[in-house]
A and B are shown apart, each in its own frame.
Chain A
Amino acid sequence: MTTLAPVPASDPMTEGARQVTVVSRKAPIAFAAVTALVALLLLVAPRDGSTRFRFSDEGDLLRLPDVAVPGMVTAWVGVAVAAAVVAAGAVLAARRRRVPVVLTLVLVLALLVAFLAWAGAGSSRDFSVARLIGGSILLAVPIVFGALGGVIGERVGVVNIAIEGQLLAGAFCAAVAASLSGSAVVGVVAAVLAGALVALVLGVFTITYRVNQVIVGVVLNVLVVGLTSFLYSQVLVPGAERLNETDRFAPVAIPGLSSIPIVGPALFEQSVLVYVMYLAVPAVWFAMFRTRWGLRLRAVGEHPKAADTVGIKVERTRYRALLVAGGIVGIGGAFYTVVSVSSFGKEMTAGAGFIALAAVIFGKWDPVRAALAALLFGFASNLEGALSVVGAPVPSQFMLMLPYVVTILAVAGLVGRSRAPAASGEPYTKE
């Protein structure tokens, strides 16, 4: 008996597998939920008065007028725009089409304006746009450096949970070294070494001894917290003048760029470490995707055995990349004690390392995207300060939660499918 199944019509050799579009409904649902929450907020707690946005400061070359808008009206307009986006997203999903990123951005912006307009309504103080941006940058700097270190680590196959520890060690060593030497630059160098040292310890356990990477990372974080806290109270507090008083980097204005209206002072009248960050992000991207170092690093993180079979030393590559990553995170640590403030304080990094870790995932293991994600988290933290200035009735704790909420949403797949380096977290055993 011979049964013949239907024969494909065209030449099967040239035809790929059929594709069914999988449309995630997560995005439209989340959009709708967030929009509804903001609308609910406006309904439950309406506020009178107008909101003022300030676009330039005293002394700026080009003075832009402040803008005052009626708070509730603007807020509702924002919500309306967001609702339109939600509807568009729903229609697209129903037609089995993907929701473009632009729509997401419009939604976020609309809700942000709505929220700010509501929060600032009736306040005598105004929102300085320059400060919103500049403050975000400052808060984001350690997170950006941390995220860069995290991206390098994961790309080479080592999950760098110890970013927090590297930041804290960097901050501590920068404070001590800068105080002793009287030079902030020496402080930064010490921070780089401290970050690399923590990374080395991580490497010894995870690469050489193949201990679970997450466990070692967590333990290292706790260790560094304990160590720096102990040394702080036993050594730094008694000898504060000599050991814990740094000369900070002064802001340097970049001629020309710093006089761009609105963003100029916020972006280009900063300390040298911020400029280092501006350079570090593209530099890491270039190194990772355009150089031999990066190609080998990614190969080791994706398929270490394949890398081994073409003569790449897996362990050596991992150590080197991890040390570089630790050094970069160290710079972020230095930022706390030679830019933000001029002394070390107990546990002063306050979880920035974990937010950096979130930025790595949010940024899909890409240095540029991760840096942008870090900026977003910096903005969320900064918002808290801005809101308390205008006296908004939002508990500051809620704003502090924002980065984490965003992270959970991101990890849940709202930023599109993200794919980790295949061998991230896997120790390499040569059988």
Chain B
Amino acid sequence: MTLELRGITKRFGALVANDHIDLTVRAGEIHCLLGENGAGKSTLMNVLYGLYTADEGEVLIDGVVQRFSGPGDAMAAGIGMVHQHFMLIPVFTVAENVMLGHEETLSGGRLDLPAARAKVREIATRFGFHVDPDAVVEDLPVGVQQRVEIIKALSRDARVIVFDEPTAVLTPQETDELMAIMRQLKDSGAAIVFITHKLREVREVADRITVVRRGAVVGEAEPGASDAELAALMVGRPVELTVRKDAPVRRDTGLQVQDLVVTDERGTVVVDGASFAVDGGEVLVIAGVQGNGQTELAEALVGLQRARSGSIRLDGRELVGLSVRRILEAGVGFVPEDRNVDGLVGDFSVAENLVLNRLDGPPFARRGMLQLGTRDEFARTKVDEFDIRTQGIETPVGRLSGGNQQKVVLARELSRDLRLFVAAQPTRGVDVGSIEFIHKRIVATRDAGVPVVVLSTELDEAVALGDRILVMYRGRVVGIVPSTTPRDVLGLMMAGIAPERTGAA
């Protein structure tokens, strides 16, 4: 079958998320939709899937115009979707999740769970998955949850399967497995739409590539195109893909973490005896697949998570047990993972956000009064210095783009006198232009002699930015290796296999 999108336009208020997009996907091919975060890829797919109604344009299947009033219609037409944020009910079992929405019933209205289990097993066997139909989804690793999503789509005989940023949560090895599954699906005659912003993955599996920028199709590319070509097409100008930095000039050990243990409220150990040291003037990247304890480790460094045992010493001073305020005063700068939740107050202005953690004394507050003049002057300087693209310092920070929001966070944290800088996923959801800028600032901080800890789930970023890379897996430190370590070794480490075993380190 052939799926065709013609002139799809979708507006959100003044923002045109999709501007007359045309796209054709054929059975038996993998069609990559490449674009930056916010380019409108997901919006387009949500239109295709019936979640959004397009303002203009139409969806055709085998030349017939389709009218989708909801995802149910799209599914009936043979469109399946593997969502970036899995659309699974965490407290349901695999079988319940797969049957949801098209349940078969026995006499008395009872759910036909045996049939659903059989269906799960049948599809799992066909693709060589190991999935227990009675496992509760929230207990499964993310890689398996993704397979449940795939089974869900296949159980409804989907002939077009959309993968929306499917590799964000996977280890490199899991990513390879996913690519194999996609090829297998393609060979069975399905049409695959693969949405991503990762160039390497695109070149690996794509039969065709469509590049989207600012809501419009800007061109098609051949699978043989180089990274630089693809990146330039995606961003609209030549991009520097590597981070330019000199060899680190190391100073004394700044941060010393010893046997740190953090647990969540249910008692699961999320950071399991982590020990490492970071010298002044070096960047230590904490890598690993999302959800392996990196977030908790970073939050423990600033006191947002209570350490159950172990010690965190900064320039010899113990930080465990201190309040967040004291830790910040000790000179720790922190860029949280989710800037919208933990980093910024969306309704506050750029100026207010720039001084958010400095309001308890001079120069921004005196005798309990805010010093608005000082603040505004400071904000104007920082807006210039960090190239924050905003209409003014009074603009609510929520209206800025992701990259500019992140620059506000960065500007606030880097403006203090730092002895340690911790940045969690500093470039997530940030456009390529801002990524370059953020990387430069992080390297500049390093060169000023501050110990820097960066959390990243992107291997490319870890290798480019880090002087050393610490890999975490299920809360444990798998190893700390130089950033020149081969990618496949790092990949295996992200799956929990220590470098000794691979014989490479």
Query: A392 CA to B493 CA in the complex, in Å?
Result: 71
Q: CB < 8 Å: which of A8, A312, A430 contacts B51?
A: A430
Across the interface, do A306 and B89 meet the contact criterion of CB distance under 8 Å?
A: yes
Q: Which of B68-76, B230-238, B357-365 contacts A (4 or more CB under 8 A)?
A: B68-76
Across the interface, do B71 and A310 meet the contact criterion of CB distance under 8 Å?
A: yes
Q: In chain A, what residue has the closest Cβ to B96?
A: A295
B430 beta carbon closer than 8 Å to chain A = no
When A4-B500, A291-B111 are in contact, do A306 and B268 touch as well, CB less than 8 Å? no
Q: Which of B204-212, B313-321, B474-482 contacts A (4 or more CB under 8 A)?
A: B474-482
Across the interface, do B482 and A2 meet the contact criterion of CB distance under 8 Å?
A: yes
CB distance from A77 to the nearest CB of B (A): 38
Query: A287 CA to B89 CA in the complex, in Å?
Result: 19
Query: A312 CA to B71 CA in the complex, in Å?
Result: 8
A309 beta carbon closer than 8 Å to chain B = yes
When A290-B111, A292-B109, A295-B111 are in contact, do A310 and B101 touch as well, CB less than 8 Å? yes
Query: Hey, which chain A residues are within 8 Å of B88, CB to CB?
Result: 303, 306
Question: Quick one: which of B241-290 are within 8 Å of A by CB?
Answer: 263, 265-270, 272, 275-276
B495 beta carbon closer than 8 Å to chain A = yes
Per-position binary interface string of chain B over residues 391-418, scored 1 when its CB falls under 8 Å from any chain A CB and 0 otherwise: 0000000000000000000000000000
Per-position binary interface string of chain B over residues 85-118, scored 1 when its CB falls under 8 Å from any chain A CB and 0 otherwise: 0111111100010011111010001110000000
CB distance from B171 to the nearest CB of A (A): 11
Q: In chain B, what residue has the closest Cβ to A12?
A: B496
When A13-B495, A18-B272, A22-B267 are in contact, do A307 and B100 touch as well, CB less than 8 Å? yes
B498 beta carbon closer than 8 Å to chain A = yes
Query: Hey, which chain A residues are within 8 Å of B52, CB to CB?
Result: 431
Per-position binary interface string of chain A over residues 282-299, scored 1 when its CB falls under 8 Å from any chain B CB and 0 otherwise: 000000001111011011
B: contact size bracket: 35 or more
Q: In chain A, what residue has the closest Cβ to B104?
A: A292
CB distance from B158 to the nearest CB of A (A): 12
Query: A308 CA to B73 CA in the complex, in Å?
Result: 11
Across the interface, do A7 and B263 meet the contact criterion of CB distance under 8 Å?
A: no
Query: Hey, which chain B residues are within 8 Å of A302, CB to CB?
Result: 89-92
Among A8, A20, A309, A422: residue with most chain B CB under 10 A: A309
Across the interface, do A310 and B272 meet the contact criterion of CB distance under 8 Å?
A: no
Q: CB < 8 Å: which of A7, A13, A21, A295 contacts B100?
A: A295
A1 beta carbon closer than 8 Å to chain B = yes
Q: CB < 8 Å: which of B86, B99, B101 contacts A311?
A: B101
CB distance from B197 to the nearest CB of A (A): 21
Across the interface, do A17 and B101 meet the contact criterion of CB distance under 8 Å?
A: no
A305 beta carbon closer than 8 Å to chain B = yes
Across the interface, do A20 and B111 meet the contact criterion of CB distance under 8 Å?
A: no
Query: A5 CA to B275 CA in the complex, in Å?
Result: 8
Q: In chain A, what residue has the closest Cβ to B266?
A: A22
Per-position binary interface string of chain A over residues 308-334, scored 1 when its CB falls under 8 Å from any chain B CB and 0 otherwise: 111111000000000000000000000
Query: Hey, which chain B residues are within 8 Å of A430, CB to CB?
Result: 51
Question: Quick one: which of B154-182 are within 8 Å of A by CB?
Answer: none
Across the interface, do A303 and B105 meet the contact criterion of CB distance under 8 Å?
A: no
Query: Hey, which chain A residues are within 8 Å of B473, CB to CB?
Result: 12
Across the interface, do B275 and A309 meet the contact criterion of CB distance under 8 Å?
A: no
Query: Hey, which chain A residues are within 8 Å of B109, CB to CB?
Result: 290-293
Across the interface, do A308 and B70 meet the contact criterion of CB distance under 8 Å?
A: yes
Question: Quick one: which of A408-431 are within 8 Å of B by CB?
Answer: 422, 430-431
B81 beta carbon closer than 8 Å to chain A = yes
Among B152, B308, B474: residue with most chain A CB under 10 A: B474
Query: A292 CA to B99 CA in the complex, in Å?
Result: 10
Per-position binary interface string of chain A over residues 22-42, scored 1 when its CB falls under 8 Å from any chain B CB and 0 otherwise: 100000000000000000000
Query: A403 CA to B263 CA in the complex, in Å?
Result: 35
CB distance from A82 to the nearest CB of B (A): 29
Secondary structure call for the B interface: mixed
A58 beta carbon closer than 8 Å to chain B = no
Query: Hey, which chain B residues are within 8 Å of A290, CB to CB?
Result: 109-111
Query: Hey, which chain B residues are within 8 Å of A311, CB to CB?
Result: 70-73, 75-76, 101-102
Query: Hey, which chain B residues are within 8 Å of A307, CB to CB?
Result: 89, 100-101
A3 beta carbon closer than 8 Å to chain B = yes
A234 beta carbon closer than 8 Å to chain B = no
Per-position binary interface string of chain B over residues 458-476, scored 1 when its CB falls under 8 Å from any chain A CB and 0 otherwise: 0000000000100001111
Q: In chain A, what residue has the closest Cβ to B308?
A: A20
Q: CB < 8 Å: which of A2, A303, A305 contacts B90?
A: A303
Per-position binary interface string of chain B over residues 33-67, scored 1 when its CB falls under 8 Å from any chain A CB and 0 otherwise: 00000000000000001011000000000000000
CB distance from A366 to the nearest CB of B (A): 13
CB distance from B468 to the nearest CB of A (A): 8
Query: Hey, which chain A residues are within 8 Å of B501, CB to CB?
Result: 7
When A5-B478, A7-B498 are in contact, do A17 and B269 touch as well, CB less than 8 Å? yes
Across the interface, do A303 and B495 meet the contact criterion of CB distance under 8 Å?
A: no
A19 beta carbon closer than 8 Å to chain B = yes
Query: A17 CA to B270 CA in the complex, in Å?
Result: 7
B144 beta carbon closer than 8 Å to chain A = no
Query: Hey, which chain A residues are within 8 Å of B152, CB to CB?
Result: 310
B223 beta carbon closer than 8 Å to chain A = no
B499 beta carbon closer than 8 Å to chain A = yes
Query: A209 CA to B501 CA in the complex, in Å?
Result: 59
Q: CB < 8 Å: which of A12, A22, A295, A431 contacts B476?
A: A12
Query: Hey, which chain A residues are within 8 Å of B103, CB to CB?
Result: 292, 295-296
Across the interface, do A308 and B51 meet the contact criterion of CB distance under 8 Å?
A: yes
Query: Hey, which chain A residues are within 8 Å of B102, CB to CB?
Result: 310-311
Across the interface, do A20 and B101 meet the contact criterion of CB distance under 8 Å?
A: no
A selection of 14 A-B contacts at a CB cut-off of 8 Å is A2-B481, A4-B480, A7-B498, A12-B474, A13-B495, A13-B497, A16-B474, A18-B272, A22-B265, A306-B89, A308-B71, A310-B100, A311-B101, A312-B72
The 8 A-B residue pairs whose C-beta atoms are closest, nearest first, are A311-B72, A310-B101, A12-B496, A22-B267, A306-B87, A7-B498, A18-B269, A5-B477
16 further interface pairs, Cβ-Cβ under 8 Å (given A15-B474, A292-B109): A7-B478, A17-B272, A22-B267, A291-B111, A292-B111, A295-B99, A295-B100, A302-B89, A302-B92, A303-B88, A303-B90, A306-B87, A307-B89, A309-B87, A310-B101, A312-B100
